[in-house]
Chain A
Amino acid sequence: MKAISINRLCKNYGKLAAVDNINLDISYGDFFGFIGPNGAGKTTTIKTMLNLLNPYTGHIKILGKDIKLNQFQKDIGYVPGEASLYDNLRVKEQINYFGRFFDKLDQDYVNELKTIFLIDDRKKISELSLGNKKKVAIVCALMNKPKLLIFDEVSNSLDPMMQKALFGELLRLNKLGTTIFFSSHNLEEVQTYCKNIAIIREGKIIKKDNVKKIIDSNGIQITIKTKQKLNPGFLQKHNIKHDEMGTGAITFAYKGDVDELIYYLSKYKLEYLRITDVKLENIFDEYYEGGSDES
């Protein structure tokens, strides 16, 4: 049984296919990243998963139950991209209102969440900044200790300290067995926290894999700076596309033989050399631009 099972999902807006025949299975306990450019179909997929939108075709099961049965909501937490809470309420009233929809609520945990996210529950929602509204929305999503958490571009408006607090709590919950489905534009956090990812473009899943496997299969990231001009032969041979950085250094992903690379670089007087894992954003560019297409 899967935490999320999407089978041949299509969703159209008029003639536009926002989601086009998606199949996606996400295991219990996964920390799953769902990435793609703007307008790729991420939010539509999420809203259809949550039964906020009706699928044109296809079936979705959440926590083993067909979403049409409407039985999954008590076991999930959802934070939409927009923190559209009730502006006329105080934070405490907002949290209590959503909390009353659940049969059992661990009030100590709700208070703990308020402490973790530094929430002043006496304030009115309308007085809060976007980041603080997001924090309230996160507390409302976590309050029922859900088995599945669905986040749609949540961390954007949080400051670094709150992002750290959020991911700290998410990792803790994930270790306890909570499945996390995480849509984001921030590929660094996806690379850092997610175990598996799917890339969606133009409504289609074009890549689904283990993050570590993707990173490993894309070689290493080389950043170098030399006074001489690099011989393009080597770069062309390995089909290397490089980016020039502001410092005059160039950076590229390398999948070939490491000895050959070192031999090549030894011909130059290097001012700077840095070898790291390939960044997801470098790989992602390829998919964003449509260079690679595999399901």
Chain B
Amino acid sequence: MNHNNKSYRNLYRFEVRQNYRSFIIWILVIIGVMVLFMSTYPSFQSADYMQLVNAKIDALPKGFGVAFGLGGITGINFKDLYFFYSYMSQFYVIAIVIYAISLGSNIISKENSEKHIDYLATKPIRKGTIIIAKYSVLVTFILAITIGLLVAGCLTILTLNTNNSPFFYQIIRLSVKSFLVYLFFGTLAFSISAASKKTSRSSLFVAGLFFISYLTGIISQIQPKFESLKYLSPFFMFETTKAGQGFSQQDYLYMLALTLASTVLVVIAYWRYTTKDLSL
């Protein structure tokens, strides 16, 4: 076996073992919240209750509705199981973005802050292999949490889907878009950690960027004159409640942009990591 492959596999397996516990906690908590939320779906089936909810939503200031993911949605219908699921999913999307940022940053910065890098980088492994192995672990966990949520979502909807309305392709489309958002923010945190000299604050920095982008998205929805700001917000370029609908040309462009941005960030991370001072 090629020595680089061997080193890659060793580091990859090690990092998976180092990070799987926090992954399990995150995915269980998010699935738990999702199931809990979805379990309230049957109570929305009563026409009276739905009327009450709609009246309350109509009474909300527009901005407030936008901030909670109801902006620009016509025909809010919590009786629609998929709509109900996709509305709820915006909250777990935020949670998973935070997880991706935390993992993307820590997988690099922990090695430096705890000075393990002095040991690791003097073993027969190239710096390039270190960064590729660590990024592979990040992608693996983001993919795993996306698939985990997809499976859990499908099972939950199947359990509640009494009228056999189609949902599978919708939830797949939602997962694909969400995955690209998680990957983008995870990669951003990863790249900043890999590129900066002092890596310890990169997760806070990226979390800050994420919330700024979230707010930018809200502002773009509230104020029509700021609509173009949505292009600065990867999170708000799609709304989860619309994400399940068929992919429009804008969606394809959006997904392509996120993929390209993530790729550029990885290339920058690779270049900086292999040329910077690893130890301080």
Cα of A103 to Cα of B119 in the assembled complex, Å: 17
By a CB distance below 8 angstroms, the chain A residues around B117 are 52
Kindly state whether residue A57 has any CB partner on chain B within 8 Å.
Answer: no
Please tell me which stretch of B122-130, B171-179, B204-212, B263-271 contacts chain A, meaning at least 4 of its Cβ atoms lie within 8 angstroms of it: B122-130
Instruction: Return the CB mask of B1-43 against A: 1 if under 8 Å, else 0.
Output: 0010011001000100010000000000000000000000000
- Which residues of chain A from 84 to 109 have any CB-CB distance to chain B below 8 Å in the complex? 84-88, 97-98, 100-103
A98 to B279, Cβ gap below 8 A?
no
Cα of A84 to Cα of B122 in the assembled complex, Å: 14
Residues of B in contact, count (CB < 8 Å) = 24
B124 to A86, Cβ gap below 8 A?
no
By a CB distance below 8 angstroms, the chain A residues around B118 are 47, 52, 78, 80, 82, 84
Kindly state whether residue B278 has any CB partner on chain A within 8 Å.
Answer: yes
A103 to B125, Cβ gap below 8 A?
no
Judged by DSSP, the binding face of B is loop
By a CB distance below 8 angstroms, the chain B residues around A194 are none
Cα of A180 to Cα of B199 in the assembled complex, Å: 33
Judged by DSSP, the binding face of A is loop
Known: A47-B279, A52-B278, A70-B126. A80 touches B121 (CB 8 A): no
Q: How distant is A41 from chain B, measured CB to nearest CB, in Å?
A: 14
Q: How distant is A178 from chain B, measured CB to nearest CB, in Å?
A: 16
Kindly state whether residue B62 has any CB partner on chain A within 8 Å.
Answer: no
B275 to A97, Cβ gap below 8 A?
no
Known: A54-B276, A84-B114. A101 touches B7 (CB 8 A): yes
17 pairs of residues in contact across A and B, judged by CB atoms under 8 Å: A47-B279, A52-B121, A52-B277, A52-B279, A53-B277, A53-B279, A54-B276, A74-B3, A80-B118, A84-B114, A84-B118, A87-B114, A97-B14, A101-B6, A101-B124, A103-B3, A140-B119
Interface, chain B (partner A; CB < 8 A) = 3, 6-7, 10, 14, 18, 114-119, 121-127, 275-279
